[in-house]
Structure 1
Amino acid sequence: MTTTTDEWKPTACILCECNCGLEVALGGPEGRTLAKIRGDKLHPGSHGYTCEKPLRLDRYQNGRAERVLHPLRRTAAGSYEQISWEVAISEISARLTQIGVEHGGEVIMYYGGGGQGNHLGGGYSRATFAAYGMGYRSSALAQEKTGEFWVNSSMLGAALIRSDLGNAQVAVFLGKNPWQSHGFPHARTMLRDIARDPERTLIVIDPRRTESAELADIHLQVRPGRDAWLLAAMIAVLVQDDLIATDWLAEHASGLADILATFGGIDVDGYCTIAGVDEALVRQAVCAIGASGRTAFFEDLGVQMNHNSTLVSYLEKLIWLLTGNLGRTGTAYIPAVMVPLATARKDTSLHASVTPVTGSPILGGLMPCNVIPEEILTDHPKRFRGMLVESANPAHSLADSPRMGEALAALDVLVVIDVAMTETARMADYVLPAPTQFEKPEATFFNFEFPRNVFHLRPPLLEAPDGPLPEAEIHARLVEASGALDPAVVERLATAAQQGRDAFLTAFLMATAGDKRAAALAPVLLYRTLGPTLPEGRQSAALLWGAAQLAFQANSASVQAAGHASGDALFDAILAGTSGVVFADDSADPEAAVWRRVRTDDGLVHLVIPELLQAARDLATDAPPGPTQEWPFVLSAGERRAFTANTIIRDPEWRRREPDGPLRISPNDAEKLGLTPGDEVEIETPRGKATARISIDEGRQDGHIALPNGLGLDHREDGERVVTGVAPNELTSAADRDPFAGTPRHKFVRARLTPVA
């Protein structure tokens, strides 16, 4: 087939949370090549914008990954044999059921739920989770965001909070380089716009002079791991120089007296010295924030996977709350969401819910990734004995890969649902193949825009090959095999669905309202009953009918303002909107919409989180983290670069630059070690060793080195598995984690370097 350039099909990027709309022209001998890719101008969020990364997405669809096309079962010899779907589902169900009988289903955990832009199938896992009585779940979000989720929930009663960067007078990026990591629509365009506007101020807080920092008006080049001292000093300036929004706080917040007492006596100069940032520059930044009235913050992995990560999230929120930057144009907001990424608990105490072995807090509904090995490698009666992993690769992506591998091998049963034979799949007892993200209907639940928020259900670009099944079908078969699904309920709902949506809604509510078991199985009930009535190939979108009903119930005014009179109307718009649809519109009164979503018990912002306020006080006596004589370098294990994203593209040829992901080092450090670009070094941490090629980074502090994320994966080449680059988690430790949320300190790993002769 020859590519026909006017046959453009809508889809979306799958490489970061923005999921910008794309159009693809197919080509190649069988019409299965993503031959041409461009931004989709009809997408209501991205409007045709795209960075360079998705232009090479054919390397995901047709790259040299080891594709799984049939269910596989591990043999006694450790190899894999092909089995039928019937055998696979039957055996997996029997093994999960047996674990439940002997030990309780709660010792089976679920990990994953989809990579970027791959969440629709993962939504059906809730039914499998319930059918087998599973007790705990985790995902990549627990590597990064759960500390922030807890802070947000405690202060505002909402797990997810973002900022209106596009309309901010002062934009502050904390531990984030949006030039490379994006994270919000039109990132590079927006950065340039802010930098060029003399009436606006761009502030970047980062140890490295990143591409974003190069554009900044103020770059606070903090020492690695010392952000907490810097932010505490900034709050102290606000308090001591009376730059806080006193009247706004009196009306909208509680706990101000405790904040004033804690930060009023801080030695600003001393804290700035610890942070390694000039006090005058800090005061300049704080004065800009205090005077603007429209300040927007964005914190990200540079601080969320570092020392004091949860404390830093708290201090960052205090800065913009003390200056009244919530709910107005150009400030922080709480968006309407289609599907919540995390749950905001009414009981916000840290240990309201904990894991069975280590007693680690469960935040946002997720247990910390770093404690998973400890929850398995023990003789505790409630240790995890089974795991279902979906569209995730914990053997590679979680801290301390060797220890994680040991834990996965110790499970009674490990089941993996994935597209490729990943490092985790190669340890599984069963591997169940799924279509790629372009071979099935897909969606993303990272919906953060404001005041108009967008949801995109994209149709498949290609037919899936014979063998793989959509995740929705896999979960439906597992639930049916468990015996948890009542066939009579399925029959009644299927009959009602044929009669129309009104009849179906009534029947569905009757089936689930008073039956917690049926409600927990709702995703599969929808798939089996409503799904067959949907347009061809869209059966797995049935889950979104329920999501649309809940979104309308939670934010009816916003959904109606976007033109959807009911949950059903919203669902129909999602089905029809192949380039995405605005599902919520708060533009008429953004401030009122935000305050409706502040769900604290008294409707006020709670400035005090006791544990974190005490941690802020403890900074006065805490020893700041830093290199040591034994470990003279600090490694950032997982840096975003021009051609790194998540780990779904295993073929290194997708990277136009630095295909092997070199170790970046400062010019002075390279000179001291006698290194030139391209030389190899052995990098050693307390956990492991690796060899990497170096590149010189003019913007990097001495003693601060970095490896990119997304490397250390293998691909097929001439029948062999070939690994490219260093897997960062071969060098990290699961024990090195935040004391509150358990998130890893991947951005602060002590290391030493030895030139390779």
Structure 2
Amino acid sequence: MHLHSWMAPLARYKVDVPRTPVTGAPILGGMVPCNAIPGEILTDHPRRLRAMLVESANPAHSLADSARWREALAALDTVVVIDVAMTETARCADYVLPAASQFEKWEATFFNLEFPRNTFHLRAPLLEPLPGTLPEPEIHARIVRALAPLPDAALEPLRAAAREGRPQFATAFLTAAGADPRLAALAPWALYETLGPTLPDGAASAAALWGLAHRCALTYPDAVRRAGHAGEGPALGEALFDAMLAGRSGITFTLDDYEDAWRYVRAPGGRIALEIPELLEELRALPAEPPRWTSKELPLVLSAGERRSSTANTIIRDPSWRKRDGRGALRVSPADAERLGLESGGRARVTTARGAVEAVVEVSEAMQPGHVSLPNGLGVDYPDDDGAPVVTGVALNELTALEHRDPLALTPLHKHVPARVEAVG
């Protein structure tokens, strides 16, 4: 596997790991482990988390221990959700800010993993947005306006310069940003508010790319010219930004050979140290005989969240989109099916230490005896022809527990959940 250049920050690791204020969980790569977050909320600690902004995520459904997540969200002073759907998390929120879908706004893909050419493509909207929805830049702009980090008078000269033209705007913006550090820190918002309204075809959401285009042209002028863009200095940045706005073809922003990959590793000697002292201590403490995870009461191993051909994440809410395994079956081996009295199309109850659910059964030769699985992404509702919500499949995190995790990074052990399966009906 070859990780592309935008993954380079992973190589800039820190040996000293910061900790969360309440539970002391490790903050790895700048991120708090999801399994630690409810513990950072459900406490009377003076530094507990008190508010949450959730954007395009569904922790009340998609993270371990949904029951504890719902409890944690209810305990927060304020929860704001930005999403395209009324998700399970949105129903727990104090405020829901509905966003337009990726087909209804200016959008770009940031899952770029092409090699050796890594390409960025700005796409214009294909459809009119649904009434009451907004693109995320406008949602965020309204939030920032409410916080009032800058007086409107500070932005008015930039708006006037943008109406004169982008060369005049560049001079005005750089001068203002140099004089007021707050403007530089809020550059994406400031560009949206000032330059954005002057961009063609309603492309205000793309205003932040103006700054990125100029930075790219300033840092890599030869590469930008080799890509077919002409100009010197600011003119080269404007040419690159115009190409992005045109959107007729992607902009290749990195071109790497295999040997180039190592120059992204900024660690001493160009090497990433694999030694993790805490992990070595865990290895030294391992018993001669591995412990048995299952028990007489919970004798099977459940893979809670198998990725299947028709699953992705909870953005797929309409069950008609799934062309295979539409009900999200519980897969069991033929040996376990015979022993437990199960058959394909029948129903079974799955029980773990955290809860119990019912699922449709699929007897599969791909499963080993003692091993069962449920897919990810199901257990969400979608209105039927009469508008009534209908749940398809199992919300598998009703079965998982926050405490069932590895001791170092607190990663949930979803692939090894002790369970019991019984025939129903």
State the TM-score, normalized to the length of structure 1.
0.52
User: CA 1:672/1:384 → structure 2, altered by over 3 Å: closer, same or farther?
Assistant: same
SS in 2 for 1:536: helix
Contact 1:456 1:580 in 2 (8 A): yes
- Taking the aligned partners of 1:464 and 1:696, their CA distance within structure 2 comes to 43
Change (3 A) 1:621 1:573: farther
Name the structure, 1 or 2, with higher relative contact order (CA <8 Å, separation 6+): 1
Larger mean CA deviation between 573-582 and 743-752 belongs to 573-582
In the alignment, which of 114, 133, 145 is matched to residue 480 of structure 1?
145
| Equivalent pair of 1:631/1:751 in contact (CA under 8 Å) | yes
> Paired residue for 1:728?
396
CA distance in 2, matches of 1:563, 1:368: 44
Correspondence 1:753 to 2:421 = yes
Letter in 1 for 2:95: Y
Give runs of aligned pairs for residues 310-329 of structure 1, distance below 5 A.
Answer: none
Specify whether residues 347 and 513 from structure 1 end up closer, same or farther in structure 2 by C-alpha distance, changes over 3 A only.
farther
Q: Report how far residue 626 of structure 1 moved.
A: 4.2
| CA gap 1:467/1:562 in 2 versus in 1, 3 angstroms | same
User: What's the counterpart of residue 301 of structure 1?
Assistant: none
Structure 1 residues 592 and 343, CA, compared in 2 at 3 Å: closer, same or farther?
closer
Going from structure 1 to structure 2, the CA distance change for 1:423 and 1:605 (only over 3 Å counts) comes to closer
Q: Residues 395, 514 of structure 1: CA spacing in aligned structure 2 closer, same or farther, 3 A cutoff? A: farther
2:299 aligns with one of 621, 628, 632? 632
Q: SS of 2:301's equivalent?
A: strand
> In percent, how many aligned pairs have the same letter?
58
After superposition, residues 317-396 of structure 1 pair within 5 angstroms as: 332-333=2-3, 335-337=4-6, 343-344=9-10, 348-349=14-15, 351=17, 353-396=18-61
- The aligned residue for residue 694 of structure 1 is 361
How far did residue 462 of structure 1 move? Answer: 0.4
Return the alpha-carbon distance in structure 1 between the equivalents of residues 353 and 177 of structure 2.
52
Q: Offset at 1:714?
A: 0.4
* Residue in structure 2 matched with residue 583 of structure 1 by the alignment: 253
Q: What amino acid is aligned across from residue 488 of structure 1 in structure 2?
A: A
Aligned 8 A contact 2:78 2:94 in 1:
yes
The one-letter code sitting in structure 2 at the alignment partner of 1:394 is: P
Question: How many aligned residue pairs are there?
Answer: 419
Give the Å deviation of 1:756.
1.1
Q: Distance in 2 between matches of 1:406 and 1:732?
A: 15
Q: What runs of 5+ residues in structure 2 fail to find an aligned partner?
A: 231-235
1:595 aligns with 2:265: no
Q: Indicate conservation of the 8 Å contact 2:104/2:128, yes or no.
A: yes
Deviation, structure 1 residue 659: 1.5
The offset of 1:524, in angstroms, is 0.8
Corresponding position of 2:81 = 416
For 1:492, the equivalent position in structure 2 comes to 157
Higher mean C-alpha deviation, range 631-640 or range 484-493: 484-493
1:340-364 Cα distance to aligned partner (Å, 9 max, x none): 7x9548561252x332211222223
Shift of residue 621, structure 1, vs aligned partner: 4.7
In the alignment, the residues of structure 2 paired with residue 516 and residue 738 of structure 1 have an alpha-carbon distance, to the nearest angstrom, of: 42
Matches within 5 A, 1:67-146: none
Question: What is the correspondence of 1:89-238 to structure 2 with a 5 Å cutoff?
Answer: 163=1
The alpha carbon displacement at 1:592 in A equals 4.8
Is contact 2:351-2:421 (8 Å) kept? yes
* TM-score (norm. length: structure 2): 0.90
Partners of 1:369 and 1:423 in 2: CA distance? 17
Question: Whole-Å Cα distance in 1 between the matches of residues 292 and 273 of structure 2?
Answer: 29
Query: For residues 143 and 366 of structure 2, what CA distance do their matches in structure 1 show?
Result: 52
Report deviation, 1:553: 6.4
Partners of 1:625 and 1:436 lie apart in 2 by 47
1:719 corresponds to which of 373, 381, 387: 387
2:375 matches 1:708: yes
Which of 633, 640, 647 is the equivalent residue of 2:314?
Answer: 647
Whole-Å Cα distance in 1 between the matches of residues 10 and 324 of structure 2? 41
Distance 1:363 1:572, change over 3 A: farther
1:606 aligns to what SS in structure 2? coil
Shift of 1:662: 0.6
Offset of residue 627 of structure 1: 2.9
Contact between 1:458 and 1:580, CA under 8 Å: does it hold in 2? no
1:608 aligns with 2:275: yes
**1:485–1:521 contact (8 Å) kept in structure 2:** no
Aligned counterparts of 2:212 and 2:369: Cα–Cα separation in 1: 50
Counterparts of 2:145 and 2:289 in 1: how far apart (Å)?
A: 55
- The answer on whether the counterparts of 1:684 and 1:690 sit within 8 Å (CA) in structure 2 is yes
Q: 1:603 offset after TM fit, Å? A: 3.1
Write the mapping of 1:677-692 to structure 2, written as runs, cut at 5 A. 677-692=344-359
Q: Rate the CA distance shift 1:564–1:745 in 2: closer, same or farther, 3 A.
A: farther
| Distance of 2:363 and 2:239 partners within structure 1 | 55
